[in-house]
Chain A
Amino acid sequence: MSLSSRLARIIRLVDLYSAQHLRSSRSLMLWPILLLFIVGSCWGLADPDISLPGEIQADTPYEVLFIASGFILLSATLGVVLVGFDGISRKRLSGVLSVELSQPIPRSDLGISLLLGVWGAVLIPTTLLSLLGMVAIHAQMGVWPEPGDVLLFLVATGLLLYWYAAIQLLASSWAKDMGGAIAWGIGIWMMFTMVWVLVTVMVAGILGVEVGNTSDSQYQQLSVWVDLFSPNGVYQMLLESNLDGGMGRRINPLFVWLAALLWSIIPTWLFLHRFERIK
């Protein structure tokens, strides 16, 4: 079978899987959450009269988008968990996975279709609502974000969602029951979203870095490196690379893009490797 035929089959399957997810009640629940978090945050943060805690100042549309990315980390990634936490385990428990695995398609092609199907189901609403958020920023500030900034924001957000989709499906392939799938899905999301600071502090403690003062330059440098091991950290650093002034952290962008590349390859490879052997 030619490569083009295989690609055409994968694209068709991604289309069908994404449509299945988008029709689900979970996706319908996701839209208002994303609307509130993405468009709402863009609208609120772009308000000239807003006063943000911690002396954070959003003067440009991109700075608004950067701060709004924190809300994407909370909502869109949770969306991937909602759609993908049982992406494999549910099919396995219901017997549908056996039917699909018995079809004459390479497992790698089927696995990548499932992965891109979950990704697409969250990417579509997130992208549309991010664009709507930019309209909200324009309505508040009277200026549009730069095209380069928009492109970076959308690419970085797309990559973040892809990493989460791969991690979620990998975790789902390990889960033997629905409880396990929920535990794996939520657990991984919480680790990167809620408790990563704790991981950073623990690493700092082990390495003898002062952890009482988070503005300490040694601690900050360490947190940058530790953040490369978190999809959220890499996402933030990708976005920081376009920030003017002192909002960004000091790290060579090459390392950040290298981390992004590894985050794109390693979870995907692990998932496909697992999927080749799934029973």
Chain B
Amino acid sequence: MAGRRLELVGIGYRHRMHDPRRFKPWNTRPGAGLHDITFSLPSGSIVGLIGANGAGKTTLMRVICGLYQPASGEARLDDEVIAAAGLKPRGHAQVGFMPEQVSWPGPGTPRQALECLSAMRVDGNDDDIDSLFKLVGLSSRSDSPLDSLSQGMRQRLSLAAALLGNPDILVLDEPLNALDPVAQIAFQGLIRQLAQRGHTILVSSHMLAELDRFVDRILVLHRGQVIGEGEMSEVESELGLVDSMRFCGLGQAPTEVFTAAGLAVVTSPDCIEGHWSLTVDLPSGFSQLQVTELISALAESGNSPYSATKLKHNLADILAAATGLSPTEVGLEVDEHLVIPLAKIGGEEE
């Protein structure tokens, strides 16, 4: 399957917010949205779309999938414009969409639900439905009532719906939500498998640790703007985030060994019941070999650590680094005027 390249250029969109007036109760005003979103998805890649709640992840996905009409810019699939200002919103045969937590109500069955969706497509073929059920692991429940499905099964059905017609681009909105850890691992494997088949996948989540296991690249969205794009390490490096490691051992914390190795101890060492632990920042270019040498030096000083863990940055770290706010401030949006960069839309500061 030869993948196609999805490209977004200058996409802008604003939600209409209800703003009742005394003599105009239906009044609305422009609200939050997307501002000048420009990026492209390399074919066959898995791109993680990350951002805090309200960052615009779902809005962006809905623009790509033809649910919202952008106010400016355009989305292209190779040379074909699939969404643009002035173009009626409409789904595209080569873009499959899995919205967040579809509850699939009603007395029907998963098979009937897919048959109905299949009938909406020119390329609809009911024969494909069985293979889709097999792919997402829902074969045994394909004729069960929808009401009897668990949330995980409903998520699988949503994925099967997105895969109807074998689209080149898959847009998955929070697919890991409401899944237990075992189902999450299975789902990640499935997404990897789909990428290997040539699908280009855009997957949103605020669970960075889970995303990090299976995405090739990330796209960081904050307040409707792209604030970082690339491989995870590239984005971290661009934002000046340094790697850090946590060491634990028995006895007294050997801070002098770390200092001698030129490392800054970023947390004061904890010593509880004869166990020590501390975290150090690793300078840029600190190699695996140097880590091994550090552990050898600790062993020679009689403080051999029983664990050495490289710490991963979470979404709050990335957003804090990008905005200059503390992680707490980013999470709680304590003062929205502190957020950078500020976008100017139609002469109105947001």
Contact = CB atoms under 8 A, between A and B. Distances in A.
B148 to A, nearest CB: 15
Interface in B97-137: 97-108, 112-113, 115-117, 119-122
A210 interface: no
Given A98-B102, A104-B92, A13 B67 contact: no
**Taking chain B's interface residues, is the majority helix, strand, or loop, or is none over half, making it mixed?**
loop
Interface stretch (A89-97, A132-140, A160-168, A247-255): A89-97
Counting chain B CB atoms within 10 Å of each CB, the highest count among A5, A9, A16, A24 belongs to A16
B158 interface: yes
Contacts of A94: 102-105
Nearest to B164: A103
Contact of A20 (B101, B108, B122, B161): B108
A16 B106 CA distance: 13
Contacts of B10: none
Given A5-B122, A107-B88, A98 B67 contact: yes
Interface in A71-108: 90, 94-96, 98-107
A121 interface: no
Contacts of B101: 95
A98 B116 contact: no
B121 A96 contact: no
A16 B115 contact: yes
A99 B104 CA distance: 10
Contacts of A99: 97-99, 102, 117, 158, 161-162
A96 B161 CA distance: 10
B62 interface: yes
B107 A23 contact: yes
Interface residues of A, number: 28
Contacts of B97: 98-99, 102
B42 interface: no
B94 to A, nearest CB: 8
A95 B112 CA distance: 17
Interface in B65-100: 65-68, 88-93, 95-100
B103 A104 contact: no
B112 A9 contact: no
Contact of A95 (B66, B93, B99, B108): B99
Interface string A10-39: 001100110010011100000000000000
Given A16-B119, A23-B107, A102-B66, 9 more contacts: A13-B119, A24-B107, A96-B102, A98-B99, A99-B158, A101-B66, A103-B91, A104-B165, A279-B62
Interface of A: 1, 5, 9, 12-13, 16-17, 20, 23-25, 90, 94-96, 98-107, 110, 276, 279
10 contacts: A16-B112, A25-B107, A90-B105, A99-B97, A102-B65, A102-B67, A102-B91, A102-B97, A102-B99, A279-B67
